[in-house]
């Protein structure tokens, strides 16, 4: 593994993964292949633009000819697929994009990987494929998949294709299922950056329903380290959960953000719940730990670092919260309040 195609590398986790890999490995070539949708930001990768180990290609993972050309031109041996439509709320408003990119796009990449005999295809998946998990149960990799939103169903569909290519064609694949990430470059439509940037502007924090839904919020760089570890040491055909195993209710997360920013709890506004909102996700990560992985950040440290990043990088998020973002915000929140 030396020449990696990082699809979706201009997005939140993809960009953090590019930073991680270029910082850690001096002899890897990293090619980011990204469509630059509303969520893809070239500026997330600005620090590498002059680095000879880094190349950016704008393209759609559903465009087989473009993917094939990039793989050939850069002698790619490994694809790490981050590219996806990732927002559950947008997938409820308009499901077509998640089906196209997350299912068809993943299939396109698999076809290229198979026909060009790549060394490895790694799929970035999500804890959402398990569906809502009643306490005190924790999801293990062999558990049944019960996705309940268009987004999570599309990610489960993609995973099934990945496994089918492993079994049918012997394509060397691995999969990671991550819990909620937080950290630098998080697009401010997702709860933590949305609540943080709204609080900075003294705007309401729209908490869905009673706010007692449980998530496992992990620092994005911890997730990136885990993906790297699975690329190096993971067994082919295997799936690895990635999370902290610490449970946080959304309302507690909102309170902590307000505490860090010294803002009043009165900014919290309970709004109509997300349709089909999964009440709880909880992973068992012992399989990953057996590879030697430990999460480096506690939830409090991860949240503090994330909120501080947004305080210090207003020039990054302020321009995003305009134009298409405001139209989406109106569609998503206007009738909820």
Catalytic residue among 77, 85, 128, 216: 128
Indicate the residue among 77 and 128 with the shorter CB distance to ligand DAU: 128
By beta carbon distance, the residue nearest ligand DAU is 126
Q: How far is the CB of 188 from ligand DAU (least distance, A)?
A: 10
Active site residue 217: no
Q: Name 206's bridge partners.
A: 269
Candidate residues 218, 250, 295, 306; the one interacting with ligand DAU per rule CB under 6 A:
250
Whether the CB-CB separation of 106 and 80 falls below 8 Å is answered with no
Rounded CA separation 153/103 (Å): 9
Active site residue 43: no
Active site residue 127: yes
Candidate residues 206, 218, 293, 302; the one interacting with ligand DAU per rule CB under 6 A:
206
Q: Name 78's bridge partners.
A: 4, 120
* Binding-site partner at residue 138 among ligand DAU, ligand NAD, none, CB < 5 to 8 Å by type: none
Note whether 86 binds ligand DAU by CB under 6 A: yes
DSSP for residue 139: B
Candidate residues 19, 21, 34, 89; the one interacting with ligand NAD per rule CB under 6 A:
34
Note whether 147 binds ligand NAD by CB under 6 A: no
Q: Name 121's bridge partners.
A: 79, 173
Q: Which of 83, 67, 95 is nearest to 122 (CA)?
A: 83
Beta-sheet strands, E only, within the chain: 3-7, 29-34, 54-58, 78-81, 120-126, 173-178, 181-182, 205-208, 214-215, 218-219, 239-242, 248-249, 268-271
Site residues, ligand NAD (CB under 6 A): 7-8, 10-14, 34-37, 39-40, 60-62, 82-86, 101, 105, 124, 126, 155, 178, 180-181, 187
């Amino acid at each position: 593994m030396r020449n990696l195609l990082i699809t979706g590398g201009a997005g939140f986790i993809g960009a953090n993964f590019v930073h991680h890999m270029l910082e850690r490995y001096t002899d890897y070539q990293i090619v980011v292949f990204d469509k630059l949708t509303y969520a893809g930001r070239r500026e997330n990768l600005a620090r590498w633009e002059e680095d000879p180990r880094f190349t950016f290609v704008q393209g759609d993972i559903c465009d087989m000819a473009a993917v094939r050309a990039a793989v050939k031109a850069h002698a790619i041996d490994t694809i790490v697929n981050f590219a996806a439509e990732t927002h559950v709320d947008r997938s409820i408003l308009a499901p077509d994009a998640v089906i196209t990119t997350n299912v068809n796009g993943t299939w396109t990449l698999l076809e290229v990987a198979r026909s060009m005999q790549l060394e490895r295809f790694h799929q970035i998946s999500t804890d959402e494929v398990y569906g809502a998990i009643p306490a005190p149960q924790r999801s293990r990799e062999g558990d049944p998949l019960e996705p309940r939103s268009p987004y999570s169903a599309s990610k489960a569909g993609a995973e099934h294709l990945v496994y089918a290519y492993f079994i049918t064609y012997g394509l060397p694949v691995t999969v990671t299922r991550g819990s909620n990430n937080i950290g630098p470059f998080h697009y401010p439509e997702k709860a933590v950056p949305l609540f943080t940037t709204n609080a900075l502007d003294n705007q309401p924090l729209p908490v869905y329903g009673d706010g007692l839904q449980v998530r496992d919020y992990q620092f994005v760089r911890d997730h990136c380290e885990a993906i790297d570890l699975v690329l190096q040491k993971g067994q082919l055909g295997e799936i690895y959960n990635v999370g902290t195993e610490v449970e946080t209710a959304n309302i507690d997360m909102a309170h902590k953000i307000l505490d860090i920013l010294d803002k009043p709890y009165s900014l919290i506004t309970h709004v109509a719940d997300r349709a089909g909102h999964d009440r709880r996700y909880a992973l068992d990560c012992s399989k990953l730990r057996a590879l030697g992985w430990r999460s480096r950040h506690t939830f409090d440290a991860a949240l503090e670092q994330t909120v501080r990043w947004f305080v210090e990088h207003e020039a990054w998020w302020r321009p995003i919260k305009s134009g298409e973002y405001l139209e989406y915000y109106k569609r998503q929140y206007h009738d909820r309040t």
